[in-house]
Chain A
């Protein structure tokens, strides 16, 4: 099963790159859903011979939440806010794709520096989890629509989950479920927030949000 797990991990990297280079919101949501399912499959496939109860629980919640619930919530948010395409990100899609590759290289270098980190299965899983983490941050920083930033947030969590699964054999269930609950609430709230932003301002471009100021401050000026 070592081969299958490697294939899945490489597929996760490819999903990151696809995410960085696609402009349609719906495609992005679908990519994040597939990535969530792939990441959720990792603990089951990693040791297929001795599947523990905690691995099944963790995968189940991961796959249902990231693969089905979040995409559904975000689909609805995108539909209600009536957005289809992300505007051109800072630097363009080609540049952000190249940045994604550079981040993967940095992540690989970083994973060679961590001498005491011994992953339980594949050798590349640590670098891939860092790369996923960085990709999430890059999406949050470089995209302007609020909904894509939420997607970046989920990608970031995928990275954390992958890192946790690869290192902690026994105790990761509790931590993982707590984090999942957190992001579930966060995505839920953000979905509502996106709707309200778009209803208030006719768009969800977050650049303009930084111009909002305190009412009292405005009065003083």
Chain B
């Protein structure tokens, strides 16, 4: 069963990107690209070879491979549909967050390795955002750990679903707010970064992968799709109260909830303007503030 869950994650992740694009297209009055477009793109890119610049070292080639494998390993740790995740042990949340960090670190290194000034700019911005996003994620997770008294992802989500909502909903709302901002940042979604822009001066994530092509680009596209899924399921697992109707029904509800999340992200992208680049750290500081508040409230407790 757990193996099937992992396969579901790996197979369904690119589908969500199609949902977002269709939502955006609908609100723009366009027809939009097919809902399975990312699958076609990845297939097309996998058939191609890669062209490498003469200035690069092994770091550039390792970049996409390491980040994709880090993200897939993180997917093994994330629970799905109320079930225990494939790999689950005490303290796996720290491994989870650092795997995401490792993936980002190698993307940044690969970008710097090209020697292009635009990629250096993108790398600098990505790291600047991560400086605020990572502590925010850590502190929100710390608040969840304080709340539940458990230190593995599966147990945390299970306990939250069963007992914490009634008593500690203010804390959970704060945590959700912080994690949602981090989620948008990490997946380079609209208030922070525009996935569709191709103007080098304003790109953040896209500019870092500008010099990758062929198989490498396929890895990167697929990696960001899986990353969207795992961080999204972080949010969905907190909100969704699993009923344990049966394995199949649970999974189906979870997948539906993920689709709704993708739809909400599409809505946000259609109606929110992108923030000015200088304002983005401010948004992330808001996330940090929310997570600190949540953590403090768990220490103080309610009556």
Contact = CB atoms under 8 A, between A and B. Distances in A.
Nearest to A121: B303
Interface in A106-142: 108, 111-112, 121-124, 127
Nearest to A8: B170
A127 B303 CA distance: 14
Given A6-B170, A10-B174, A104 B303 contact: no
Interface in B1-42: none
Interface residues of B, number: 21
B292 interface: yes
A17 interface: yes
Nearest to B284: A94
Contact of B169 (A3, A104, A108, A122): A3
A46 B64 CA distance: 55
Contact of B289 (A2, A9, A101, A124): A101
Given A2-B303, A6-B302, A13 B285 contact: no
Interface in A2-42: 2-3, 6-7, 9-10, 13-14, 17, 21
B109 interface: no
A11 B169 CA distance: 12
A6 B170 CA distance: 7
A60 interface: no
B285 A97 contact: yes
Nearest to B174: A10
Given A2-B303, A97-B289, A123-B301, A10 B170 contact: yes
A123 B298 CA distance: 11
Contacts of A101: 288-289, 292-293
Contact of A123 (B173, B282, B285, B302): B302
Contact of A105 (B166, B170, B281, B296): B296
Contact of B300 (A14, A17, A100, A124): A124
Contact of A13 (B293, B301, B302): B293
B268 interface: no
Contact of A108 (B173, B282, B285, B299): B299
A17 B299 CA distance: 20
B278 to A, nearest CB: 10
A3 B303 contact: no
Interface string B269-303: 00000000000011001101100110011011111
A129 to B, nearest CB: 13
Given A97-B282, A101-B289, A3 B296 contact: no
A93 B283 CA distance: 11
B139 to A, nearest CB: 11
B152 to A, nearest CB: 27
Given A6-B169, A9-B170, A98-B289, 13 more contacts: A2-B303, A3-B167, A14-B293, A97-B282, A97-B286, A97-B289, A100-B289, A101-B292, A101-B293, A104-B296, A108-B296, A123-B303, A127-B300
**7 cross-chain pairs, A with B, having the tightest CB-CB distances, nearest first:** A10-B170, A123-B303, A101-B289, A94-B285, A6-B170, A94-B282, A124-B300
27 contacts: A2-B302, A3-B166, A3-B167, A3-B169, A6-B169, A6-B170, A6-B302, A7-B170, A10-B173, A10-B297, A13-B293, A17-B286, A17-B293, A21-B282, A21-B286, A97-B289, A101-B288, A101-B289, A101-B292, A104-B293, A105-B296, A108-B296, A108-B300, A111-B300, A112-B300, A123-B300, A124-B302
